[in-house]
A and B are shown apart, each in its own frame.
Chain A
Amino acid sequence: MPTQIELKGVTKEFGRNVILDKIDLKIPARKIFGIIGESGSGKTTLLKTLIGYWKPDDGEIFYDGRDLKRDMRYIKQTVGFATQDNCVYPKLTVRENLEYFGAMCNVPSATLNRNIDKILDLVELKHADNKLAEELSGGMQRRLDIACALVHNPKILILDEPTEDLDPLLRRDIVELIKKINENDTTIIITSHLLDETDSLCDEIAIIHDGKILEAGPTDELKDHYSKNEEVHIVTRGKKYKEIVRKLNKGSFDKAVVEGNTLILQSKDAEKLLSHVLKVVESTDRLIEVDLKRPTLTEVFESLVRKARQTKKEG
């Protein structure tokens, strides 16, 4: 997949605080790219530096090979940005906001009207297009903000914590919306500290900590690299977990632990283990629940951050 955005040694400081420290990053085109990190790790600063809101103190940023410093106008026309703050005018209606920001993004009026209708359908705000922004619910406001970021058909959409402060249902809606947008070949860069959400959404991720990129790459590769075990979770009626473990081949799993009512078996090949476990349980006890747990992004993240903290402590 071709690289759409490339950061080379990007550094940003506020006073004596180094917020971004020599960031090198490649973001592929037409993918969903996640930037994860703790609060205050530099995620938002990185995004705002990406769009030229902050000028890097050092380093270079390229969009499709174009230098951000020299071709700001092209980049602004190419990128859409939605922040955590819902950057809309509360006293304008949904449509008026879209019309205004479309005009600011040089969209011709004929195209703009078509775009607005399409985007309102996409973000499911058609029914509310004459409502004032301040009268919308939190989820609708977030969708309006994303709509405003999309009004000029950007190639790249940057979303800063798009599901922040939303309830689980609204969060799911936004995730679905992001996926729909990406289906139109729009590159999406998203930051979040909700790792499960990022895990399910992003094709590639970068983990940022203290202004430094700890690791970046395809999500699955990172998980494979940083988490060696998969898990099979079993709950039976008789709780005859000792007997079940004894009947299993010793080499088929690495470790067995009982947490509460659940037997957890760790293995490098959980799929193979699962079929074996099911046969043993059938002859020993009555199965109530079974689940196959793959390694999570949380594990990867925790592992990397722990390592970074350790290095910092030692250094």
Chain B
Amino acid sequence: MAGLGVKGHQVEVFESDSAENGKRYLERITTNIPGVEIVYADNANGGRTLSLAINHETENVQRAARTDIENVLRSAQTHEEWVKAVEQYGANWNARQEEVRQAKLLSIDIDECILPTPRESRLDGNFARDGERFKALDEAGMTIILNTGGQRRRLRKSSNFSNLWGWS
């Protein structure tokens, strides 16, 4: 299951009148997709149900493309298709953990990635969260380069962001 980017595995047991032995089992598999879990559940007829649980309360999912995630994952009709769909997200990155750990330079495109369109849609809280993460990366020894195809004056619009990062 490592290829799935599994982060945690938990089995819950429930009392159930409908189950032959009076118990039902629920396996919750936390994936590397924030807020997304794979859930296996025993059925009363002895079969198992594979389903998807998405925690919409997860911080990062506030404006995430969760509908797209759901569409992709729910379109899978079989276990194999489901695994393949999940593997689209993060499996390659997970397979290269050591390279991520050794990385020393991070180049990030500004437009859309850090400064969305319209710019006003960017919430101060998100700037703050980026700032916190960039400080953490800086402390981990990474050099961070904001990379834009636009003019240098556009960078000035990110001054609030850069202040949080300690650029002022």
A and B bind: no
Q: Which residues of B contact A (CB under 8 A)?
A: none
* A residues whose Cβ falls under 8 Å from a Cβ of B: none
